[in-house]
Structure 1
Amino acid sequence: MISREELEFLINLLDKYPLESINNIAKKENIIYAKLKKLFDKYYGPSKSVTVSASISIAKLGLMSYVAFLSVPRENIKPTIAKMYRNPFIPVAVPFFGFINGVSTVMYIPLEQRDKIDELLSRYSPNYEYYEAHAYPPRKVEFGKWEFSYDYALLLDILKRDARTPMKEIEEALGKKRPTIRYMINRLKELGILRGFMTVVNEEAYNRGFCGIARSLSKEFLDKFKEHEIMIGVIKPAGYLIEWYFSSEEDIYQKILEFSKYVDRFGIYYFDMFDFGIRGFSFSKAVKKDGKGYHSILDFD
């Protein structure tokens, strides 16, 4: 049973001390170690409610972010998502019902492969729409390219999945010693690729999501929801993608009433409809093993 109070308490601690040991957090916050350890055991981990993930600049690695909405008959949603998840360039594919009924996806596309997006999406549905997506507020984006050995792809996957992974486990996974791994991490930081760390709440805790597309953001909306866990993205050619995650135990109808007046189109994500979850981007599957760039987004079917 998930306790919202306990979960929010842990999230606040992880936001403050993303990589600190449980013992150090307990000392700094004057919390009994055994009590804090019990909380971590209950909620923390990739297969549990919350993790700490590396914040990675995919643009500096030559990737562009897109969101897509595909019309898929209800009976075909599960096999379509299974097929999409065979492609490492599609880290998110979830059931979606609203302005389009079917599947919503996130795609990370190598800069030089943007002309292949339509061919990729048409494999899953004849009816779709997609948008280039960036963080809010808008800022200039500088794109780089993949210029690293394959070991960096493995390291990025580990840090993205769980940035609190013990160094001993990273050493075993990469077959490298601690000083080399620290050098690799510091290099990623210096290049602006590894930007920091963030607390991620898994779909076990928030198994629904409101998605809205708006032509503009009103001051009323920004003021009203500034204390809520709202995610805002800038989409091109124009507009904003607004997401609000919550639990199926909450009143969805009330959420729609409260939120829909601020957007032009909306729908609901159903993260728990099937057992796929949100897989996340895999650098180790997207990058060629010789380290020389990315595979084609059309290589996976």
Structure 2
Amino acid sequence: MPEPVMEELELLVEILDRHPLESLRRIAESEGIEYYRLKRLHDKYYGKYLTVSASANIRRIGLRSFVAFLSVSPDRLMEVASRVTRNPFIGYANPAFGFKNGLSLTIYVPDKQKKLVGKMLSKYSDDYEYYEVRAYPYSGDEDFGDWYLSYDYAVLLDILKWDARTPITEISRRLGKSRPTVRYMIKRLQEEGIIVKFAPLVDMNIHNRGVIGLTKHLDDEVLERFKEYEITVGVLPGYGYILEWFFSSKEDLGSKVLEFSNYVEKLLIEYFDPVFKEMNDRNLKDRYQRMVKEDGNGYRSILEF
């Protein structure tokens, strides 16, 4: 695949950020851009370097976020990863090495099943640790909902998370519903605060490494110190904080470890491998519809998979 022209890609991102769901003709009219120029950009980059995805408030539908770190021997890594990435409650799995050598996981667990996380992880490894993660700064909000919609809404959420610009006609066909009904369902998800926004996501595989650090105390200096890096911060209630720095394998790994280790007590290196990305993407495509019972009556057990 040829390298993108960054000015073109950035322009398309800006346009789709303002008009995430509108047709190209309507966007062209609104932006005062020639339709065929916009279509050329869209055909060149959309689905290859970026997609528009629905951002969901998972707390509204009763899901808690966790991170977990599993010890897995090298000879079992792919076998365990294959099993892990068939579980819809596991968001992402990547090989990781440091205070645990094996796998780094993000997990989404129904509020009513939060006490089962350890039992679920024990199916994959005898040696693991896990932490609940909240947004930084932490509000302390414990108001978790539950799944209260029909099964069709789970299918719709999967479609909108994977590609929110999927044509209404295609969504109607997949759900077996009329176009006005689909539009109503999307509007309902927005009005009830389940879908927060639709946003373009760029995927250029610029970052293929991550440094994850756990610390009991967060010095605000860290965010200022690493403002030139892509870094995320999360709160681990009852423990402290999680920090993740993203970088390229072209950068010096040793220096990164030495630099970041000054700010955390636990540290590991995470590898974003293409094979794992393929497994994670496969798991992502129909995650919600495999989480939810087909009668719409809540979530399946996280221990079923």
CA 24–217 in structure 1, closer or farther in 2 if over 3 Å, else same: farther
CA 95–123 in structure 1, closer or farther in 2 if over 3 Å, else same: same
How far 1:91 moved relative to its partner? 1.8
Listed as ranges, the matches of 1:282-293 within 5 Å are 282-293=287-298
Query: Matched residues, percent identical?
Result: 50
How far 1:206 moved relative to its partner? 2.9
Q: TM-score, normalised by structure 1?
A: 0.88
For structure 1, list consecutive stretches of 5 or more residues without a partner in the other structure: none
How far 1:173 moved relative to its partner? 1.1
Q: Could you report, residue by residue, the CA deviation over 1:100-144 in whole angstroms, capped at 9, with x for unpaired residues?
A: 110011111111112221111011111100000111221224211
The match for 1:151 is 152
The match for 2:179 is 178
What is the distance in 1 between the residues matched to 2:204 and 2:190? 29
Q: TM-score, normalised by structure 2?
A: 0.87
CA 224–41 in structure 1, closer or farther in 2 if over 3 Å, else same: farther
Instruction: Tell whether 2:297 aligns with 1:296.
Output: no
What is the distance in 1 between the residues matched to 2:270 and 2:22? 33
What is the distance in 1 between the residues matched to 2:27 and 2:251? 32
How far 1:197 moved relative to its partner? 2.1
CA 276–5 in structure 1, closer or farther in 2 if over 3 Å, else same: closer
What is the distance in 2 between the residues matched to 1:235 and 1:262? 16
CA 68–23 in structure 1, closer or farther in 2 if over 3 Å, else same: same
Q: Which of 16, 21, 28 lines up with 1:19 in the alignment?
A: 21
What is the distance in 2 between the residues matched to 1:254 and 1:43? 34
Name the SS for the 2:156 alignment partner. Answer: helix
How far 1:209 moved relative to its partner? 2.0
The match for 2:253 is 252
* C-alpha contact 2:94 2:276 (8 A) present in aligned 1: no
How far 1:25 moved relative to its partner? 4.9
CA 176–203 in structure 1, closer or farther in 2 if over 3 Å, else same: same
CA 9–213 in structure 1, closer or farther in 2 if over 3 Å, else same: farther
How far 1:37 moved relative to its partner? 3.8
Aligned residue pairs total: 298
Farther-moved stretch of structure 1 (31-40 vs 284-293): 31-40
Name the SS for the 2:262 alignment partner. Answer: helix
Farther-moved stretch of structure 1 (146-155 vs 265-274): 265-274
Name the SS for the 2:117 alignment partner. Answer: helix
The match for 1:188 is 189
CA 111–86 in structure 1, closer or farther in 2 if over 3 Å, else same: same
What is the distance in 2 between the residues matched to 1:155 and 1:228? 35
The match for 1:44 is 46
For structure 2, list consecutive stretches of 5 or more residues without a partner in the other structure: none
How far 1:42 moved relative to its partner? 3.8
Listed as ranges, the matches of 1:1-301 within 5 Å are 1-3=2-4, 5-6=6-7, 7-23=9-25, 25=27, 34=36, 36-45=38-47, 48-139=48-139, 140-202=141-203, 204-226=205-227, 228-272=229-273, 274-277=275-278, 278-279=280-281, 280=284, 282-300=287-305
Name the SS for the 1:147 alignment partner. Answer: coil
Which letter maps to 1:187? R
